[in-house]
Structure 1
Amino acid sequence: MKVELAQLAGQDNGTAHNLKSALAAITASASDTQLIVFPETHLMGFPSADTVAQIAEPLDGPTVQAVQQAARARKIAVVVGVAENDNGTFYNTTLLIDAEGEIALRYRKTHLWASDRGVFSAGDRFVTAQWNGLRVGVLICYDIEFPESARALAQLGAELIIVTNGNMDPYGPTHRTAIMARAQENQAFALMVNRVGEGDGQLVFAGGSALVDPFGTLLHEAGREPCQFSVELDLAQLAAARRDYRYLDDQRLRLAGEVVEHADGRRELLMP
């Protein structure tokens, strides 16, 4: 399976600029790419408490619709972060849009970083979807510093964990370690796409977008510059990593919460 990682420099509160760069990356993707992944809240950047009401959009708003149209035209799936406005409640949200342009998965960040608090509300569930014969789950940035987040997706059957990231200096090494650990602990592929460049408030984003295999081996890692590059997922590695033992079978403690199965193949773990 061929996936492209779009490690881009976004603009905070810069929807027009960010959408233009996302559409350009989708258009530039290789003809055999099945999925392209962007950073956390890429389409809007990071709003503040003062700007979020003007910047955040509903999922049927013009910015997401433009990405859906591009995905449909290019016949490629897209994972992209947005600032979501749900009837006046704001979420740091990542979408999986399939090659037909439909929203196959919506995940709202459950662990709010310091700069998220007072801007976004926390999500209340973890979710996976069936896509291209693979069960996919999404996490956002700070989520991966909590082993329970990835384990929740693994309990829902995730084989690929996608992390949209907005990680800044000096915490790049933290997420490098975390993404490798989360893949190894759950015997799943983990793919992380981070932002680069400067943001508001003198933040410098750390890059380091990466692909890790189900053994926890770092297969690809980007530097600190904007780039768009492809990686190959050898799906046979899933069976190889799980051949001799399964952590999920042997674990003594399981995460609490109600599991909801949807007719479209989505699975959700609701927080207790």
Structure 2
Amino acid sequence: MKIELVQLSGRDGDTAYNLERTLQAIATCAVDTDLLVFPETQLMGFANAQQLAEVAEPLDGPSVQAVQRAVREHNVSVLVGMAENDSGTYYNTSLLVTPEGVALSYRKTHLWPSERGLFQPGDRFVTALWKGVRVGILICYDIELPESARALGQLGAELILVTNGNMDPYGPVHRTAIIARSQENQAFAVMVNRVGDGDDGLVFAGGSTVIDPFGRTLFEAGRAECRQIVDLDLDLLRTARHDYDYLNDRRLFLTGEQIEHADGRRELLIPALPQQ
């Protein structure tokens, strides 16, 4: 399986610019690429409180439709982040878009402090079967909470895809976290981060990374824009779980209702917090 990491800079609140760069990357990908992975909120950037209502779009909005058309034209799939507007409620959302349509939609469940009050957290973890592999999505801060990746593992995830918007000085935090999340769930992990300057003095840390099911680094980017194809040897999934299987050996299970869909998607609903 060939996955292309598309580590880009972006412009906060400038959908036209970000969408153009996204479509250009899709149009110029290698013909045998299976999946392109972009950073967190790639399409809109990190819109501030004044911009959010103007730039956020529904899942069937014009930006996602444009990505869908490009994906069909070039017969490739993409993981792309956006600011979602669901009837006036806003979510930090990432989509797995295939030539057949949106295969998976995930709303960030663990919001960074500056996002709280702008976005609402998602209420579930999700996976889908894609090209015979069970895929789950996380977004940025999610990976610092081990239960997030464990929820995907409990749903059977073999490939954890992470759209990332991690900034200085926290680059080393995510480097450590993504290795741990991959190794403890014996799954591949692909994390793609943003680079360059953002609003409010933020400097994004880059360091997009691919980790194998043993926790070994297959690729790690620097701090500049780059595009890198990594070929995943899916046989490593079986090899890593041959002698010991953490998910089968564990004695504690995450709570929450698990839902099986006819199309192969699996969801784990997050239990509501008790009333204070």
Find the counterpart in structure 1 of residue 165 from structure 2: 166
Deviations, residues 90-144 of structure 1 (Å, cap 9, x unaligned) = 00000000133x0000000000001211110000000000000000000000000
- Hey, what's the Cα distance between the residues in 2 that align with 1:210 and 1:119? 28
Q: Which residue is 1:117 aligned to?
A: 116
Equivalent residue number for residue 274 of structure 2: none
* Equivalence for 1:14: 14
Partner of 1:62: 62
Equivalent residue number for residue 77 of structure 1? 77
Show the 5 A alignment for 1:171-182.
Answer: 171-182=170-181
Residue 50 (structure 1) shift:
1.9
**Quick one: distance in 1 between partners of 2:259 and 2:50?**
36
1:44 is aligned to 2:44: yes
Q: Distance in 1 between matches of 2:209 and 2:194?
A: 12
Provide TM-score, normalisation by structure 2: 0.97
Residues 106-255 of structure 1 correspond to what in structure 2 (within 5 A)? 106-255=105-254
- 1:225-250 deviation per Cα after TM superposition (whole angstroms, max 9, x unaligned): 01111001000100000000110111
SS at match of 1:78: strand
Q: Could you tell me which residue of structure 1 aligns to residue 93 of structure 2?
A: 93
Q: CA deviation at 1:261?
A: 0.6
Q: Write the distance in 2 (CA, Å) between the matches of 1:214 and 1:186.
A: 7
Q: Structure 1 length normalisation: TM-score? A: 0.99
Distance 1:168 1:249 in 2: 35
Task: Give the Å deviation of 1:51.
Answer: 1.5
Q: How much has 1:218 moved relative to structure 2? A: 0.7
CA–CA separation in structure 2 for the residues paired with 1:153 and 1:138: 8
Alpha-carbon distance between aligned partners in 2 of 1:219 and 1:61, rounded to the nearest angstrom? 36
Q: What is the CA–CA distance in structure 2 between the aligned matches of 1:168 and 1:232, rounded to whole Å?
A: 27
Q: Distance in 2 between matches of 1:55 and 1:22?
A: 16
Q: Separation in 2 of the partners of 1:25 and 1:113?
A: 28
- 1:149-206, Cα deviation, whole Å (9 max, x unpaired): 0000000000000000000000000000000000000000000000000000010000
Q: Which residue matches 2:266?
A: 267
Moved over 6 A (4+): none
Q: Which runs of 5+ in 2 are unaligned?
A: 272-276
Give the root-mean-square deviation of aligned CA atoms. Answer: 0.5
What secondary structure sits across from 2:127 in the alignment?
strand
| Percent identical | 68
Which has the higher mean CA deviation after the structures are superposed, 111-120 or 168-177?
A: 111-120
Q: 2 CA distance for matches of 1:99 and 1:181?
A: 32
Amino acid corresponding to residue 149 of structure 2 in structure 1? A
AA in 1 matched with 2:262: A
Measured in 2, the distance between the counterparts of 1:228 and 1:20 equals: 16
In the alignment, is the contact (CA less than 8 A) between 1:189 and 1:212 conserved in 2?
yes
Shift of 1:48: 1.3
Cα distance in 2 between the residues matched to 1:233 and 1:245: 21
How far the C-alpha of 1:63 sits from its partner, in A, is 0.4
Q: Distance in 1 between matches of 2:120 and 2:20?
A: 27
Contact 1:47 1:119 in 2 (8 A): no
How far apart in 2 are the matches of 1:223 and 1:216?
19
State the number of aligned residues.
Answer: 271
Looking at structure 2, the residues matched to 91 and 215 of structure 1 have their Cα atoms a distance apart, in angstroms, of: 33
Instruction: Report the Cα distance in structure 1 between the residues aligned to 2:75 and 2:130, rounded to whole angstroms.
Output: 14
